[in-house]
Chains A and B, each alone.
Chain A
C-alpha cells in the first residue's frame, strides 16, 4: 500500500534524536551516566538511524534497510 514505512520511522527517530542531542547539550550535568553524556551520545545514534531510514525511503531502493 502506498506508504513507505521508512518515512515515518526515519522522521520520528530524526526528531527524537535531535531532541535528545539538544536536551543533552543544554542539560549536560543531568545527562551524565557512568561518565558519559548518554543523552547526547544516544541522540546521535538515533539521528544517524533516522537519517539512514530517510535516505533509504527517498532512494526508494528495494534492498531492505539495516535491521
Chain B
C-alpha cells in the first residue's frame, strides 16, 4: 500500500483527541493524594465507567487488527473468541468471583492469592504478570509504530515515543482513574471511528446476504484466491458451529468442538477474564460491591456485539477480494519498491514473452509466490499493448499469492474513508492502542508497588513513599515497554518465544483460583506446586507437539515430534486444556496430602463456603448480576443459534 496522505482536518481530529486525553489526566491530578488514589482509584468509580473501561483495556490495537485478520482467515467462527471465549467467563467473574476480589479488599489479583494462600503463591503469579504486561505493551507499541510507519510514512521512533509519551503523561498525572476515564472516551472513539468503515464496506458489497453468497463461493474454492490450500463446505466462512462439527479438517481454523468448548471456552477464557489483573483491576476500582460485580456485566453487552465491528470487516475484505469489479484485494505482504521494480523489468524485458520462465523470475524478484494465471494474463496484456510501468506494477501487486491479513482493517479504512473520516478512523486506531497500553501500565505499577516492592523488598514505609514509587515505576514501566518494543523490532523470533512462555504461564492459572475460591481444603503447598507443575507441564506439552506445516523448533516439537495437530490454534487450545488438567489434579492431590495452615475464620471472605452470601434484595432487579447475567447468557446462546 502507498502511504496515506493526511489532510489538516485529519490532524485536527487527532490533536483534539490527544488534547482531551491529556486534559483528563490534568483535571484528575489534583485528586491524587495517596498511593491508593493513584494505584486503585480509591474504589470510587461508577459502574458504567468501569464497565466500559473493562472492555476498552482489553480492546488493544492488536486485538482490533488481529480479529479482523482472523475474520478474513477463518470467517465467523472467529466470533467464538467472543461468544464462547468471553461472555460466559465475564458473567462467571461478575456473579461468583468479584465478591471475593472486591470483598477481600485485596488491592490486586495476586494480592488475593496472598490472602488466600501465602506470599510464594502470590509471588509466582505477580512476577509472571508484571513481566507479561511490560512485554505485552512493548509488542503492541512495536506493532503500532510499524503500522504508522507503513500507513502514514511517520518515522518509527517518532511514532513510538510520541504515542507512549501521551500515555505516560495522562497516567502519571491522574493514575488509574485517568486510565479508566480515558478508556471510556477511547471506547466511544473506537466504536464511532470504525463503525462507518464497516458500514460503507457492507453497503459496497451489497449487504449481508450478498456477502454470504460471495463467501459461499469462496469457501468452495479458496484456492482461486490463494486463501487456503483446500476446499470446504459452502458455509465454512459463514457458519460458526456447523463447520466445527465436521472435525478439524472441515474448517479453516483447523479445530474441533472440544478444543473450542473446553480449551478456549473454559480454560483460556476463564483464565484470562477471571484472573487477569489487567481487566479485573477495572472492576476492583468500582465504588461499591454492586458496582464491582456489575462491571463485567456492563462490559459483556458491547463485547457480545463487537464481532460486527472487528470480525465482519475481515469477512467483508474476503468478499471484496472475490469481486473483481471492486478494485480491492487484501494487501500482500510488504515488498520493497526495488523488488517490485525488478519484477516490472522481468515483464517488460522478456522478448518474446515466455510465461513459464517469467512467472518464476517475477516470483524470485519479489520473494513471494505469485498467481500464475494472473501473471500470464499480465504478460498477454503487455504483449498486446505496451503497458506503463505503473500498470505492470499494479498487475504484479494483484498477482502476489500471499496476504498480510493484519493490514485488512487499514486497507478498508484507506479505501472507504475520505479526508475527515480518515482522521477519525486513525484516531480510533491510536485510541485502541493507548487504551491497551494504559491498561498494562496501570496494572503493572500496582502489582510492582504493592505486591513485589512492598511485599518483598521494602515493607513498612509511609504511604507517601509508595505513592512516590507508584509514579516512579510508571515512568520505568513505560521505559521498559519502549525497550521491549525495540527488542521486538530486532528479534521477531524471540518475541514469538516470549508470547509462548506467557501461554505456558497463563494456561493453568484458573485451576488455582477455582480451588482457592471454592474449596476451603486447598492448601498453600498444593496451590504453589499445582501452579508450578501446570506451568512446567505446558512447557513439556509444547516440546512434544507441533502443528501441521510447522517445522520443529520455536513453534514446538523440539524434544521429538510426537503428536501432530491440524493447526497452531488447535495446538494452543489443547495445550491449555492439558496444563489446566495437570494443575487441577496436582493441586487436588497435594492439598489432600498436606494439612491446612489457615483456619475457617481466616478464610472468611476468601472462600465461597465460608462467606455469607450477598443478598441482593435491596438492589433493583436490573442491577442484580445473577439476573442480568442470565439474560445476557441467553442472548449469547441465541446469537450462537442465529449464526449456527
Contact = CB atoms under 8 A, between A and B. Distances in A.
A27 B20 CA distance: 26
Contacts of B200: 33-34, 38
A11 B28 CA distance: 17
B115 to A, nearest CB: 27
Interface string B11-43: 011001100100110011001000000000110
Contact of A19 (B9, B42, B45, B185): B9
A43 to B, nearest CB: 8
A39 to B, nearest CB: 4
B203 A34 contact: yes
A43 B13 CA distance: 12
Contacts of B463: none
Interface string A10-25: 0111011001100110
B230 to A, nearest CB: 35
B441 interface: no
B301 interface: yes
A5 B174 CA distance: 13
A5 B28 CA distance: 11
Contacts of A43: 420
Contacts of A38: 196, 200, 418, 421
Most buried by A among B16, B52, B416: B16
Contacts of A54: none
B179 interface: no
Contacts of A16: 13, 16, 424
Interface in A25-54: 27, 30-34, 38-39, 42-43, 45-46, 49
Interface string B186-198: 0010001000100
B28 to A, nearest CB: 6
A5 B192 contact: no
B47 interface: yes
Most buried by A among B23, B44, B48: B48
Most buried by B among A15, A42, A46: A42
B52 A67 contact: yes
A59 B298 CA distance: 22
B301 A67 contact: yes
Nearest to B27: A3
A46 B16 CA distance: 14
Interface residues of A, number: 31
B419 interface: yes
Contacts of A49: 188, 192
A27 B192 contact: no
A12 B424 contact: no
A57 interface: no
Contacts of B541: none
B207 interface: no
B492 to A, nearest CB: 36
A13 B416 CA distance: 21
Nearest to A42: B196
Q: Report the contact-size class of chain B (Cβ under 8 Å from the partner).
A: 35 or more
Given A13-B188, A34-B200, A39 B418 contact: yes
B418 A34 contact: no
Interface in B167-201: 177, 181, 184-185, 188, 192, 196, 200
Interface in B248-299: 298
Nearest to A53: B188
Contacts of A45: 192
A18 to B, nearest CB: 11
A42 to B, nearest CB: 5
B420 A33 contact: no
B421 A12 contact: no
A56 to B, nearest CB: 10
B418 A12 contact: no
Contacts of B44: 1
Contacts of B42: 1
A5 B418 CA distance: 30
Nearest to B23: A8
A15 B31 CA distance: 27
Given A8-B185, A34-B203, A38-B200, A23 B420 contact: yes
Contacts of B48: 64-65, 67
Contacts of B184: 5, 9
B523 to A, nearest CB: 41
Contacts of A65: 48
B416 A5 contact: no
B49 interface: yes
Contacts of A64: 47-48, 298
Contacts of B16: 12, 15-16, 19
Most buried by B among A15, A34, A38: A38
A46 B192 contact: yes
Nearest to B186: A9
Given A23-B420, A33-B418, A38-B196, A9 B185 contact: yes
28 contacts: A1-B44, A5-B49, A8-B181, A12-B17, A15-B16, A16-B13, A16-B16, A16-B424, A19-B12, A19-B420, A20-B9, A20-B420, A23-B419, A24-B420, A27-B418, A31-B418, A31-B420, A33-B200, A33-B417, A33-B418, A38-B200, A38-B418, A38-B421, A42-B196, A42-B424, A64-B47, A64-B48, A67-B301
The 4 A-B residue pairs whose C-beta atoms are closest, nearest first, are A64-B48, A39-B420, A12-B20, A1-B31
